[in-house]
Structure 1
Amino acid sequence: MAPPISPPLKALLLAMEYTPNVAGGVGTYVYELARGLARGGCKVTVLAYTPGEPAVLREPNLTVHMMPPSRGSLSQAGKLSLVGGIRVFNDDLIHRGRELIHEEKPDLIHFHQWHTHRAARALAHETGVPVLGTSHYISEPAERWWGQTPDPEILEEERSFYDGSTNVISVSDSMSELIRETYGMPASLLHTIHCGMDAGPFLQPSHAPEDYARLRATVATPDDPVVLYTGRLHPMKGISAIFAAAERVLERRPNVRFLLAGGTDSRESTQMVQTLTQRYAHLRHRIKLLGKLPRQQLGLLHRIADLALVPSLYEPFGYTAIEAMASGLPLVATRSGGPSEIVDHEKTGLLVPVLPGAPGGPREVDVESLAAAQLNLLEDRERARRMGLAGQQRVVELFSLPRMVAANLAVYQKLVGGQGREVRS
């Protein structure tokens, strides 16, 4: 007689974001991971923040509780700092987490970023189950690289997150190195797992060629090459370098169109964009700001573009990079953080330097190199095509959802240990 199958592993995921409709990379990661774990046979519950009405989303093996702050938390948050408000919301997470755990105790609690580490650790302590965190971003020293001083309260939360009491997954080798150097995190507790995704929607066109031709005609003529940027409009993302490099590209190729799809997330970022559009007003007819778009629409833009830009001063990983590559676009990115681990230089795209800048001052994207790389690919269309195809293959091999899920499950298995739970990739 065959031995009985162990019950599937039950995971409780805590996050401030779920799906890219809420924010960015963290929401995308949690969305992809939760669905991948569920497809692999795990029983997954997600408890995530929403600014709107509460909702429960259900799929096979997956239940997502979208939770707004309580009235009491909102009342307190109005008198507190941003970090103070997040700490208060953690109390809501603890209360709701207790209710869910009372219904069914998880085998492991997995939180994302420092924003939910207090609630996750408290629930893990109460229940005696293992707890694990994933780091998607680090303020110190990264924010200093684009001229921003990290919030002291956020640094306090990061010090607590990386205090060595909890296993941590980071999304790139670059992030792992920063965590070790900045906070002395023991290597034995730090696991590097690159982000992954279900690449299927990006690998294959979802519309007929004539549909893409009509869409492209709304932004460019058939003879106008299209350069695409997707992501937040934030100093971290090298937005000023996009404008400066575009000016140089257009001097040589005046028919190029630049599309920037993304929104600002602060007053400072909005002011930055306003300043850049005024400074480069003479390029207004060639640089189009599309605003923030749903992830599905970004896939449409990939199909009408000729190349994609990821010119970040620092990028922990960069979902936008693998999404563009999966769509067959050659990539021009900076040799900084995640993109330098994603792009195989001169095979799937081109990497350009980030310069140190003045002593103690912010870093700068090498604008001349950024412009030259774009011109190289725009003028050698066959090389660009080969890079696009190679990029698709690289995403399938290295940044697939099954690969990311299997790596997370391997860490889960180490933490859950001999508790008799089945984990499958």
Structure 2
Amino acid sequence: MAPPNSPPIRALILAMEYTPNIAGGVGTYVYELARGLVQEGCEVEVVAYTPGEPAVLREPRLTVHLVPPSRESLSQAAKLSLVGGLRLFNEDLLRAARERLREAKPDIIHFHQWHTHRAARALGQEAGVPVLGTSHYISEPAERWWGQTPDPEILEEERSLYDGSNPIISVSASMSRLIQETYGLSPALLHTIHCAMDAEPFRKPSHSPDDYARLRATVATPQDPIVLYTGRLHQMKGISAIFGAAERVLAKRPQVRFLLTGGTDSRESTKMVQELSQRYAPLLHRIKLLGKLPREHLGLLHRIADIAVVPSLYEPFGYTVIEAMASGLPLVVTDSGGPAEIVVPGETGLIVPVKPGAPGGPREVDVDAFADALLELLADPARARRMGETGQRRVVEVFNLPRMVAANLAVYHQVLRAPARPAPHAVAHEARS
């Protein structure tokens, strides 16, 4: 908790995403956190990447600076790796953030993911301001669990992120364990804070029952149960398990409809979707790919669906889980990562196992258990509705924005009271060079 009568904190947040419109989870978190901090009386400035034109968004006590890569960075980035390009963009971010320091010095600098840690650390050292990071994802060992070899340069960035220079917040207990086991970060520097959000846009219907009925009629008849997936179409998300489970479910309940929203983000994921569409071609009249949709449209789909699924091979937290729960949907999720910390089995949904592969090799969702869980909920709609109602209450009580903001503020105050931890010279030098 904040010390009594403590003055409002001035926070500078550095991130590669702001709002869910760029990629998803990190942008959602930063967007929700910034607004939540303002509601608690903080002064917040956000400096974040944009692929478009530079912009400054101003609200009371909140200013967001959207920074595109400089022409110099863009010209050099074509010759560099992904990580090399991000390191270069940290220079652009650092220059933009320095401008903010000339106007007002923050009390704390809060960066998100390794993508911005170099700029944040250099800025903190220059200004004598404590630096804190939030980790939303970990490449090692998680990427090996869906058959991907982590990029060595990304692993170098992760080692730097978790080197003990700064306190780190992780978004789930699962993530915290992986960080400790993989990189040996001291528990004293590691804080677990679940993600949260303003549930009201998902909790309250935004349209009339007739509007939802008309929308539902575009994809299913009133008698057809709808199973909904929202998220990226990526190997880590267990997309192949959705198709495999759908085949088993449709063999027994042919009236079920499966709706999948989201886009692919790589050649590999595009190829995966194409191969699954070919393999399960006879089922495509019951499995509909809707493409990527704005976050505000997801609530519409939640209102016409009966069950939501998140069968990820690993999920650091899972905003899609609490969005579906906030809308009153029961969930079927896997036991790998954050969703298993969100869903209470038998009360707000069902949890199915991810089966381990060879040591260090790919894992796979237990498709039979996944299909059985879906059939269990489809067979008892009244129970499924009760789970959805319980899940909605759980999101409001446990994954609410004031709780997440209070937890972040408690860490801020702890960091501000702690003795200064100088950033390693090498990191500061690299961020300037």
Query: Shared fold by TM > 0.5?
Result: yes
What is the RMSD of the two structures over their aligned residues, measured on CA atoms?
A: 1.2
Deviation of residue 416 (structure 1)? Answer: 1.7
Shift of 1:47: 0.4
Deviation of the 1:203 alpha carbon: 1.0
Q: CA deviation at 1:60?
A: 1.5
Q: CA deviation at 1:6?
A: 5.8
Contact 1:261 1:291 in 2 (8 A): yes
Q: Residue 359 and residue 109 in structure 1: after superposition, are their counterparts in 2 closer, same or farther (change >3 A)?
A: closer
Q: By how many angstroms is 1:361 displaced?
A: 2.7
Distance 1:121-1:215 versus aligned 2 partners, 3 A rule:
same
Distance 1:360 1:315 in 2: 17
**CA deviation string 1:383-407 (max 9, x = no partner):** 1011001101111111000000000
Q: Report what 1:422 is aligned to.
A: none
Q: Is the 8 A contact 1:10 1:43 kept in 2?
A: yes
**Structure 1: distance between partners of 2:310 and 2:7:** 43
Q: Which runs of 4+ in 1 moved over 3 A?
A: 4-7
Q: Could you tell me which residue of structure 2 aligns to residue 177 of structure 1? A: 177
Alignment of 1:98-113 (within 5 A): 98-113=98-113
In structure 2, runs of 5+ residues without a counterpart are 420-433
Distance 1:357 1:178 in 2: 18
Amino acid at match of 1:261: T
1:39–1:61 contact (8 Å) kept in structure 2: no
**Given residue 13 of structure 1, which amino acid in structure 2 is its aligned partner?**
I
**Are the equivalent residues in 2 in contact too, given 1:10–1:42 (CA < 8 A)?**
yes
Alignment correspondent of 1:97:
97
The answer to whether the 8 A contact 1:11-1:45 is kept is yes
What residue identity is the alignment partner of 1:95? Answer: R
Distance of 1:68 and 1:334 partners within structure 2: 37
After TM superposition, give the deviation of residue 61 of structure 1 in Å: 1.1
Aligned to 2:367: 367
1:244-255 equivalence runs, <5 A: 244-255=244-255
Matched, 1:312 2:300: no
Matched-pair contact (CA < 8 Å) for 1:17–1:23: yes
Deviations 1:311-363 (A, max 9, x none): 00000000000000010000000011101100000100000000012454310
Q: How many residues align?
A: 416
Tell me which residue corresponds to 1:341: 341
Q: Distance in 2 between matches of 1:67 and 1:376?
A: 49
Per-residue CA distance 1:347-383 (angstroms, 9 max, x = gap):
0000000001245431000000100101111110011
Counterpart code for 1:62: L
Provide the secondary structure at the position in 2 that maps to 1:53. Answer: coil
1:88 aligns with 2:75: no
Q: Give the aligned partner of residue 115 of structure 2.
A: 115
The match for 2:226 is 226
The match for 2:424 is none
User: In structure 2, what residue type is equivalent to 1:56?
Assistant: V
Structure 1: distance between partners of 2:107 and 2:320: 32
Q: Which amino acid aligns with 1:99?
A: E
1:120-159 equivalence runs, <5 A: 120-159=120-159
CA offset digits 1:135-187 (Å, max 9, x no partner): 00000000000000000000000000000110000000000000000000000
Question: How is 1:9-408 mapped onto 2 (pairs within 5 angstroms)?
Answer: 9-408=9-408
- The 2-side partners of 1:348 and 1:255 are apart by 24
User: Does structure 2 retain, via aligned residues, the 8 Å contact 1:310–1:331?
Assistant: yes
TM superposition score normalised by structure 2 = 0.95
Report the Cα distance in structure 1 between the residues aligned to 2:5 and 2:60, rounded to whole angstroms.
19
Secondary structure of the 1:223 match is coil
CA distance in 2: counterparts of 1:229 and 1:36, whole angstroms? 28
Deviation per CA, 1:286-335, whole angstroms, max 9, x where unpaired? 11111111110001100000000000000000000000001000000001
- The 1:119–1:234 alpha-carbon spacing in structure 2 relative to 1, beyond 3 Å, is same
Query: Structure 1 residues 412 and 279, CA, compared in 2 at 3 Å: closer, same or farther?
Result: same
Once residues 7 and 171 of structure 2 are traced to their aligned partners in structure 1, the CA distance between those partners, rounded to angstroms, is: 29
Looking at structure 2, the residues matched to 202 and 417 of structure 1 have their Cα atoms a distance apart, in angstroms, of 38
Aligned with 2:13: secondary structure? Answer: strand
> Distance between the aligned counterparts of 1:360 and 1:188, measured in 2?
28
Alpha-carbon distance in 1 for matches of 2:418, 2:134: 23
Which structure 1 residue ranges, 5 or more long, are not aligned?
420-425
Using the size of structure 1 for normalisation, the TM-score is 0.96
Is contact 1:238-1:365 (8 Å) kept? yes
Partner of 1:423: none
Cα distance in 1 between the residues matched to 2:319 and 2:301: 15
Contact 1:8–1:42 (Cα < 8 Å) also in 2? yes
**CA distance, structure 1, for counterparts of residue 70 and residue 418 of structure 2:** 38
Return the alpha-carbon distance in structure 2 between the equivalents of residues 106 and 34 of structure 1: 14
Deviations 1:83-104 (A, max 9, x none): 0000000000111111111111
